[in-house]
Amino acid sequence: MYKNYKLIFKLAWLNVWRRKARGVLVVLMIGVSMSVMLGIQGLYDGMTNHMIDSTLRSDSGEISIYAPSHRLHQSLKYHIKDTTSIIQKLSHIEQIKATAQRIKVTGLVSTARKSSMAKLIGIDIAQEKKFGDFEKFIIDGKWNTQENYALIGKKLAKTMKLSVGSRVIFSSQNLEGDLTSISLRIKGIVQTTNPAIDDMALFVSLAKSQEFAGLQAGDSTQIALRIDPKANLVQTKEMITTLLPNEDIYTWLELYPALEQMQEMMKVFNGISFFIVMLVVLIGIMGVMLVSILERLREFGILLAIGQPYRNMRLQVIIEALILGLGGYLMGAILGGAVLYYMKIYGLDLSAFSDGLEEFGMASTIYATIKSAYFSTTLIAIILASLLSVILPIRRLKKLNPIEVIQGD
What's residue 222's pLDDT? 95
Along the chain (409 residues), what's the average pLDDT of each consecutive run of 10 residues?
75 82 88 90 88 91 93 90 91 92 95 93 93 93 85 93 94 92 94 89 94 91 91 90 93 89 86 87 86 79 76 86 91 93 87 66 79 91 89 80 62
Rounded Cα gap, residues 158 and 179, in angstroms: 26
The answer to whether residue 37 sits within a structural domain is yes
Indicate whether 281 and 221 sit together in one domain: no
Indicate whether 177 and 29 sit together in one domain: no
Indicate whether 32 and 90 sit together in one domain: no
What's residue 271's pLDDT? 87
The answer to whether residue 63 sits within a structural domain is no
Domain boundary among 193, 225, 246: 246
Residue 206 pairs with which residues in a beta bridge?
A: none
Indicate whether 306 and 383 sit together in one domain: yes
Burial of 350 (0-12, 13-18, 19+ CB in 10 A): middle
Contacts 24+ apart (CB under 8 A), 137-142: 137/54, 137/57, 137/58, 137/190, 137/191, 137/192, 138/188, 138/189, 138/190, 139/189, 139/190, 139/191, 140/164, 140/188, 140/189, 141/186, 141/187, 141/188, 141/189, 142/187, 142/188
Indicate whether 176 and 154 sit together in one domain: yes
Indicate whether 16 and 87 sit together in one domain: no
Closest-CA residue to 362 (of 118, 52, 36) = 52
Q: Judge whether 273 and 37 are in contact, CB under 8 Å.
A: yes
Indicate whether 147 and 226 sit together in one domain: yes
* Beta-sheet strands, E only, within 124-241: 138-141, 149-153, 167-173, 179-190, 201-205, 222-227
Closest-CA residue to 170 (of 188, 186, 159) = 186
Collapse the DSSP code of 191 into the 3-class scheme (helix H, G, I; strand E, B; otherwise coil) and give the result: coil
The answer to whether residue 308 sits within a structural domain is yes
Residue type (1 letter), 57: R
Indicate whether 295 and 374 sit together in one domain: yes
Residue 80 pairs with which residues in a beta bridge?
A: 220
The answer to whether residue 193 sits within a structural domain is yes
Q: 10 — phi, psi (to 5°)?
A: -65, -45
The answer to whether residue 96 sits within a structural domain is yes
- Hey, how many other C-beta atoms are within 10 angstroms of the C-beta on 181? 13
Contacts 24+ apart (CB under 8 A), 6-11: 8/312, 8/315, 8/316, 8/319, 9/319, 11/316
- 133: region left, alpha or beta (phi > 0 left; psi from -120 to 50 alpha): left
Domain boundary among 246, 272, 288: 246
Structural domain total, the chain: 2
The answer to whether residue 60 sits within a structural domain is no
Find the domain containing 372 and state its range: 2-54+259-408
Indicate whether 109 and 223 sit together in one domain: yes
Domain boundary among 224, 246, 268: 246
Indicate whether 74 and 48 sit together in one domain: no
What's residue 61's pLDDT? 93
The whole-model pTM stands at: 0.80
The answer to whether residue 62 sits within a structural domain is no
Indicate whether 288 and 402 sit together in one domain: yes
Contacts 24+ apart (CB under 8 A), 177-181: 180/212, 180/214
Indicate whether 264 and 194 sit together in one domain: no
The answer to whether residue 47 sits within a structural domain is yes
